[in-house]
Structure 1
Amino acid sequence: MLRKITTSVLVGALALASLSTPLHADDYGLPSLGSGGSSVSSDEEHRLGRAWLRQFRAQTQAWQDPITQRYVESVLSRLLPYSDIGNTQVIVTLVDSRLLNAFAVPGGIVGVNAGLFSFAPSEDAFASVLAHELGHLSQRHFARRMERIEETQLPTMAAMLAGMVIAAGGGGNAGLAAMAGSQAAFIQDQLAYSRRFEQEADRVGLDAMADAGFDPQAMPAMFRAMQRLTSLQGGNPPEFLLTHPVTESRISDTQSRADQLHAAASGQDPTYAMIRARALLKLNQDAPTQAMSQLRQDNPPQSAILYLEALIAAEQNRTDDALDSLDRLAHELPDLSLIPASAAEIALEAGRRGAALERAQRILRLSPGYFPAALLQADILLQTDPDRAFDALRELSQQASEDPQIFALLAEAAGRSGREIWGHLARAEQLQLSGSIDRAIRQLEVAEDVAKRDNNFGMASRIQQRRREYLEYRTAAQQL
């Protein structure tokens, strides 16, 4: 949703362009505020996306679920080769909101609300939304919108950014009120201009879906479902439709296009239904029976029902029942790492660290690259072997340099293993990734003092450079 209004942070993007000195592996492995890039997105768009993501994290509630995040990344990895966005590094952010919404931001930022899983009954339906968002990125709609905005009015975009961030984070009416404060004529002009973008994103998304093995018929079906939801809500559209308006003409166009494409055969993979079960339970924590009722409405595989039953058992402190059920499921579906990973999570939450570590390590022997298990292992090692935890988290931080959670754990591991400077550095990274730049700068100042105290002047010099980058970023942010 926020794709349409990210222009208001252009000033920040321009200032971030000065953060052009990357920190390489021999520079202590610290992430760069503007690192990366692609053959499709310009450096300016890339930095804009990273700057926007930090602001977004500061104002919304993240949904920390590595298993779900890994699943969303896997769906995107299927779509990306056919979405024509080059080698852009895509970053997924999950939002703890029941609102039906997803969005894409220049530079490869893709956001998904928990509420999208609730609404999308199948993997094809879920993929249709992601494919549409990737279509916006591939057609560089932000850059093209910038050209149009320069012809109209740039200042009103700041007000729209504030409103859209509030709305995306669940602020609802407050966000809509903020948007209403912008100039009506300007907004109407932008909406009219964006309809062409929506048609392009539909076309690119449908082609990508078909090529990636998803059923393109799911896209017009989702649009019809959204239209029905709007009618049931008395004309109040879900958040997604506020900036993705669905008309009869658009539905007709997507249906006609989908009819010309090959429809993939429906598979029996229960993965999406299990991930959806996680989201439904997250959204109905106080009433898990509602999660089960909603899941059953769309005739999911029996394995997904058993999976949700196990998750509910764990919520009710019936740990043994939950683990036994998941172990049986894992035996029946040995290729789904999410099942034993869920069991490991449950064991850890129940205080069974040894059993959780054994389960996580077993997963990694079979699937060495499964990130949720690697993160779980590192989290457990924090309590028993901080040195190993530090090494594991350093490696994970290089794989996921935009993940604040990794740096929060790395800071803890550094502290527990006696690496005082690294503790402050990692905490600073976690804070700047979360949008708390002032606190991040203070952490770096402490880190520099410690480095000088220890006569580690090489590290002190690197920290000074990092602090200059943070200060430039703060200056940019203050102009938004």
Structure 2
Amino acid sequence: MRFPLAIFPALLAAVLLVLAPAVTARADLFGGKMTLRDENKMGHDFDQIIRAQQNMVGDTYITDYVAGVVARVVTGKRPMPFHVKSAVIANPLINAFAIPGGYIYVFTGLIQSVTTESQLAGVIAHELAHVSQRHVVSRIEKQKKITLLSTAGMLAGLLLGVAGGGGNAAQAGQALVLGSQGVATAAMLHYSQEDEREADHVGLNSLVKAGYNPEGLPQTFQIMLKNKWYDNSSNMPSYLSTHPGTEDRITYLNDRIARMPKSFLERKDDNTRLNRVQVLIRARMSPANTALAYWDDKEESEYKPMDYVGRGITLERLKRIDEAQAAFEKALSLAKDDPLVVREAGIFFFKAGQADRAAALLQKAAIMDKDDAMALFYLARLQAEAKQYAEAARNMRKVNELVPEDWEVHQHLGMILGESGDTFGGNLHLAYAGVYSMRLGKAREYMQRARDLAQTQEQKDRVRELEDTIKARAEIRK
């Protein structure tokens, strides 16, 4: 349930070693053609690699918001050949990408950079158009001889910006997939101008059909270009490195939009949820001093309750606990029945060691939003500390259902179950904690303990499922 910002260039190596053999075998088997089933399998494998190597956001308030925007965009794309699945990556780069099979990933840096939901939806619509139009798959199919290196190069090239943001790490990634044999060409590492034009066209259509303001798409590209021109930091939009011809595409999009009915351009977004998500991202994931400067520069007369929450989170990160508490008290005085305000105040008081105050707030937040993983996570930890193991296990299991691959959730659930006397369940979940934190030695150690404790057929089946999961993760590490 934490939000680190490290980036893992090893993603490229993992793609090279794991994904390409399966794609190659299937493509050769079908004479270079890939079916929707092949694409789904490719997407699933790729998703496992990404989740193992990248820092996935586990706060359901953030991920549910993004999923809602994605789902709305998909309504404008029917029929869509895939069930679209979204995830949020904790990374300050302005980026997003989609892969075959309908998997789409949005970076926190992109969410933070937009000013309207239509802008965020525009990028999502564009990315999903690459998937629905099968641009990546078509490139694979056009190769008469699909080799291990060229296939991995095409797919990994779309993620060069993910791994390195267009800097030295990206160059290293390119050398990794191309340097040793030079089978793939640099041109295969980028969408073509034709691909981009089609994705812009199809994406704009779906954006309009979904009820968004079409100006959101070119506006986001303009935001990216502005960052490219004026920002030489690590936050430069890596999105631009894998999506060529942005300036010409802005002109094309604006020309199309100018011919649309005026009513489309008058559509207004409700940006309330977006702004609340942005507060969480800024406060929790931006450098603390940078985040505090944002709230210091804002007139307090303009503060909303969530601004006090964001300020409080930031001050707590800076160990200015008294000031942080004052900010949370102010937020509660203004919005004592706002589930997100209550949740964040509860988390603060948990970290500040004020268990009774934290428990009351987290219990209230969990009642108001029964699917808030963060509220339930900290509530379960408080209950475990009070030795209320049945309640703690029930709530942590609910968190595990909401965020199934978070290693910290499995870690705490394993400890809760072990302390309650369920040693089989405790060892099983501690093994999963090892899997999802990529500490596979620990995972095997706890798996063996769970195997020794398994008595029922159901328990034995669960150990076998765990073993299969460990084997799959081990392949990613090779």
1:77 to 71, 74, 79: 71
Match of 2:451 in 1: 448
Displacement of 1:369:
3.4
SS of the residue corresponding to residue 92 of structure 1 reads strand
Q: Distance in 1 between matches of 2:24 and 2:390?
A: 38
SS of the residue corresponding to residue 401 of structure 1 reads coil
Q: Distance in 2 between matches of 1:342 and 1:280?
A: 14
Structure 1 residues 397, 312: closer, same or farther in 2, change over 3 A? Answer: closer
Displacement of 1:163:
7.6
Q: Which residue identity is paired with 1:143?
A: V
Displacement of 1:306:
4.3
Match of 1:278 in 2: 280
1:48-67 correspondence runs (5 A): 48-67=42-61
Q: Distance in 2 between matches of 1:231 and 1:288?
A: 23
Displacement of 1:275:
2.0
1:61-140 correspondence runs (5 A): 61-84=55-78, 85=80, 88=83, 90-95=85-90, 97-140=91-134
Q: Distance in 1 between matches of 2:476 and 2:12?
A: 19
Match of 1:21 in 2: none
Match of 1:374 in 2: 376
Q: Distance in 1 between matches of 2:238 and 2:95?
A: 6
Match of 1:24 in 2: none
Displacement of 1:101:
1.5
Q: Distance in 1 between matches of 2:82 and 2:214?
A: 24
Q: Which residue identity is paired with 1:175?
A: A
SS of the residue corresponding to residue 215 of structure 1 reads coil
Match of 1:203 in 2: 201
Q: Distance in 2 between matches of 1:58 and 1:370?
A: 23
Q: Distance in 2 between matches of 1:301 and 1:210?
A: 33
TM-score (norm 1): 0.78
Displacement of 1:116:
1.8
Are positions 1:425 and 2:425 aligned together? no
Percent identity, aligned pairs only? Answer: 24
Task: Confirm or deny: 8 A CA contact 1:448 1:463 kept in the other structure.
Answer: no
Displacement of 1:62:
4.2
Displacement of 1:88:
1.9
Q: Render the CA deviation track for 1:3-26: whole Å, top value 9, x for unaligned.
A: 999974434657999xxxxxxxxx
Structure 1 residues 123, 437: closer, same or farther in 2, change over 3 A? Answer: same
Q: Distance in 1 between matches of 2:58 and 2:354?
A: 21
Q: Distance in 2 between matches of 1:163 and 1:253?
A: 26
Task: Confirm or deny: 8 A CA contact 2:43 2:102 kept in the other structure.
Answer: yes
Task: Confirm or deny: 8 A CA contact 1:404 1:433 kept in the other structure.
Answer: yes
Q: Render the CA deviation track for 1:61-89: whole Å, top value 9, x for unaligned.
A: 44554433333233323333334446626
SS of the residue corresponding to residue 186 of structure 1 reads coil
Task: Confirm or deny: 8 A CA contact 1:382 1:413 kept in the other structure.
Answer: yes
Structure 1 residues 154, 376: closer, same or farther in 2, change over 3 A? Answer: same
**Number of residue pairs matched by the alignment:** 447
Task: Confirm or deny: 8 A CA contact 1:134 1:205 kept in the other structure.
Answer: yes
Q: Which residue identity is paired with 2:401?
A: Q
Task: Confirm or deny: 8 A CA contact 1:345 1:376 kept in the other structure.
Answer: yes
Displacement of 1:448:
0.4
Task: Confirm or deny: 8 A CA contact 1:104 1:110 kept in the other structure.
Answer: yes
Q: Distance in 2 between matches of 1:203 and 1:302?
A: 38
Task: Confirm or deny: 8 A CA contact 2:306 2:331 kept in the other structure.
Answer: no
Match of 1:31 in 2: none
Match of 2:32 in 1: none
Task: Confirm or deny: 8 A CA contact 1:61 1:169 kept in the other structure.
Answer: no
Are positions 1:325 and 2:330 aligned together? yes
Q: Distance in 2 between matches of 1:69 and 1:319?
A: 26
SS of the residue corresponding to residue 52 of structure 1 reads helix
1:257-406 correspondence runs (5 A): 257-259=256-258, 260=260, 262-263=264-265, 265-267=267-269, 269-281=271-283, 282-292=285-295, 302=304, 305-315=307-317, 316-317=320-321, 318-330=323-335, 337-384=339-386, 385-406=388-409
Structure 1 residues 326, 167: closer, same or farther in 2, change over 3 A? Answer: same
Deviates more, 1:53-62 or 1:414-423: 53-62
Q: Distance in 2 between matches of 1:268 and 1:381?
A: 37
Displacement of 1:457:
4.3
1:230-249 correspondence runs (5 A): 230-232=228-230, 238-249=237-248
Structure 1 residues 162, 149: closer, same or farther in 2, change over 3 A? Answer: same
Displacement of 1:223:
1.1
Task: Confirm or deny: 8 A CA contact 1:141 1:197 kept in the other structure.
Answer: yes
Q: Distance in 1 between matches of 2:63 and 2:307?
A: 21
Specify which structure has the bigger relative contact order, considering alpha-carbon pairs within 8 angstroms and separated by 6 or more residues. 1
Displacement of 1:151:
4.8
Q: Which residue identity is paired with 1:448?
A: R
Q: Which residue identity is paired with 1:207?
A: N
Q: Distance in 2 between matches of 1:72 and 1:477?
A: 27
Q: Distance in 1 between matches of 2:446 and 2:201?
A: 47
Match of 2:417 in 1: 414
Match of 1:20 in 2: none
Displacement of 1:421:
1.2
Task: Confirm or deny: 8 A CA contact 2:140 2:146 kept in the other structure.
Answer: no
